[in-house]
């Protein structure tokens, strides 16, 4: 596992250094139309997250809710306990 982590760190560092050096050369200054870049990001995100999203749907995991879920199960037992103490 340590070899995998170190190779990933090495790859990230190498990619960062290459990208940083490329910023100093005008040949790599390519204009990008932002809607195409946004569409490209959405497609990449969808392709890489498809397995995780299908896994969450399979096991009925919903990461987003529209409100706080409330539980009313303890209220009945608390009332019965106070009645038995009287």
Predicted confidence pLDDT, tens digits, the chain (86 residues): 567 678 888 999 999 999 999 999 999 988 989 999 999 999 999 898 888 888 888 888 877 766 766 777 665 555 555 555 55
Instruction: Confirm whether 78 is domain-assigned.
Output: no
- What is the three-class DSSP state of 8? helix
Element (H, E) at 11: helix 2-22
Check: CB of residue 22 under 8 Å from CB of residue 28.
yes
Sign of CA dihedral 44, 46, 51, 53: positive
Which pLDDT belongs to residue 34? 92
The answer to whether residue 72 is domain-embedded is no
- Provide the residue range defining the domain that includes 52: 31-61
Answer yes or no: is 68 within a domain. no
Is 86 a domain residue?
no
For residues 20 and 42, state if they share a domain.
Answer: no
Are 38 and 32 in contact by the 8 Å Cβ rule? The answer is no
């Amino acid at each position: 596992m340590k070899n995998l982590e170190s190779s990933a760190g090495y790859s990230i560092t190498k990619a960062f250094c290459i990208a940083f050096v490329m910023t100093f050369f005008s040949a790599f200054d390519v204009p990008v139309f932002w809607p195409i870049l946004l569409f490209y990001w959405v497609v990449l995100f969808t392709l890489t997250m498809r397995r995780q999203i299908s896994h969450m749907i399979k096991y009925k995991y919903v990461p987003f809710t529209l409100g706080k879920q409330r539980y009313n199960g303890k209220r009945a037992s608390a009332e019965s306990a106070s009645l038995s103490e009287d």
